[in-house]
Structure 1
Amino acid sequence: MTNLKEELRNIIADVIEDEEFADTDDFVMNLGVDSMMALEIIAQIEQNYNITVSEEYVTRIRSLNEVHELVVELLESKGAKEEQVNA
């Protein structure tokens, strides 16, 4: 998972068509991300990592750092659930 942040950066860069942004740049205020772009970013993340990002989390992801924190949290949660199923 050491490259997770870079993978997420690439997903975001592809959607917003800009590779030059800081980890803390606000998607809406600094990068001009609209709701359709946000949904596309979320769809790519869900597909790439086989996780579900519920609507309640959408407002939490305003920067690359926040996306990274959320994906780590969801992947850890998913891992814990899979361990319970396999136990």
Structure 2
Amino acid sequence: MVLHLEQGTCSSGINLIDVNDYARACYTSDEYLDCDGDYECPTCKKYFRYMSGLLQHAESDNCNETLSRRKSPLAIFLRFLKARV
């Protein structure tokens, strides 16, 4: 879903800038954004250019980060985003 939004092709009008703005606005942002505003995995500290890349990483077997834990900062962000789209 986030990749679709970042591409700017969604009928909702949401685009990459909006996703980045929502990512910064979410109260868990300090757990997945570094001081320069780069996306960073909360678990392994790997950097990503886009939120969609970080989320794909969290869904993969490359790291122990997960979206299935209700209190995961990325799961919280997804609920935050869905409530606004």
Look at both structures and tell me which one has the larger radius of gyration over its CA atoms: 1
Q: Specify which structure has the higher proportion of helix.
A: 1
TM more than 0.5: no
Per the normalisation by structure 2, the TM-score is 0.30
Give the structure, 1 or 2, with the largest relative contact order (CA under 8 Å, sep 6 or more).
1
Per the normalisation by structure 1, the TM-score is 0.29
Q: Specify which structure has the higher proportion of strand.
A: 2
